[in-house]
A and B are shown apart, each in its own frame.
Chain A
Amino acid sequence: DQQVKQNSPSLSVQEGRISILNCDYTNSMFDYFLWYKKYPAEGPTFLISISSIKDKNEDGRFTVFLNKSAKHLSLHIVPSQPGDSAVYFCAAWGSNYKLTFGKGTLLTVNP
C-alpha cells in the first residue's frame, strides 16, 4: 500500500517558467512533509519541509503548499533553472518516526 504517491514520473518545463511537482498521501497520521532532490550518482539532499499545521512554506525560489483536507502537497519552483533538473522525492513523517518516500518525479528544465 503506497502511502505517499507522486503520480507524475516526469515533468519537463522551460527555463524561467514555473515547475509544479505534486504529491498525495493517504495516512492522516503524517504530520511533517519534506522534499528531497537527487542528482544522478549522488545521494538525495534536503530541499524544503512543511509542518501539517501550516499550509505554505517558502524558501527562495522554492515554495511548498499543503492542503491537509485533500491530503495533497505541491512544490513550486519559480523561476525554474537548468540546474534544477533532478529527481524530486516527496517524503512524509509521522508517529512511527520513519520517513516514507514517494517514487519520485524527474524534472527536466530546458534552456
Chain B
Amino acid sequence: DVKVTQSSRYLVKRTGEKVFLECVQDMDHENMFWYRQDPGLGLRLIYFSYDVKMKEKGDIPEGYSVSREKKERFSLILESASTNQTSMYLCASSLPPRGRKPNEQYFGPGTRLTVT
C-alpha cells in the first residue's frame, strides 16, 4: 500500500512565524505535490516537484517555498506565516506520467494549519 504521511494533523502558529510542513512517501515516487484546500475553493496546487532538488510553481506559490533534498521527502515552508494561510494542506505523490496518461496521485491525510 502506498503511504503518504504528513508530520502533523493539526498545527497552530502565530503570525510571522516560520512554519515547516513535512511530507514523506514510501513508494519511491518521483513526483510530489503540495495543495491547499479551502471551503468553496477546492484543491489548489502550491508547488510540485518531479525529482530531487527540482521544483515548479503551482497556481498559488506566493508566500510559500519548498525543499526536496531526498526523493521521499517534500517540505513546504511558510517563510512568515499570515492569517490568510490558515488552511488544510495536502501532500500527494505519484509516478511520472505514462505517455499521455497521468498516474494516480496518492494523498496524505492533511495538516490543518491555523495561523493566529
Residues of A within 8 A of B (CB): 6, 9, 31-32, 34, 41-46, 51, 89, 91, 93, 97-104
Contacts and interface: CB of A to CB of B under 8 A. Distances in A.
Q: How large is the interface on B (under 10, 10 to 19, 20 to 34, 35 or more residues)?
A: 20 to 34
Contacts, number: 54
B105 A103 contact: no
A101 B104 CA distance: 14
B5 to A, nearest CB: 10
Contact of B43 (A41, A42, A44): A44
Given A97-B50, A101-B44, 4 more contacts: A6-B42, A43-B106, A43-B107, A98-B45
A43 B4 contact: yes
A44 B107 contact: yes
B97 A99 contact: no
B90 interface: yes
Given A101-B44, A103-B40, A46 B102 contact: no
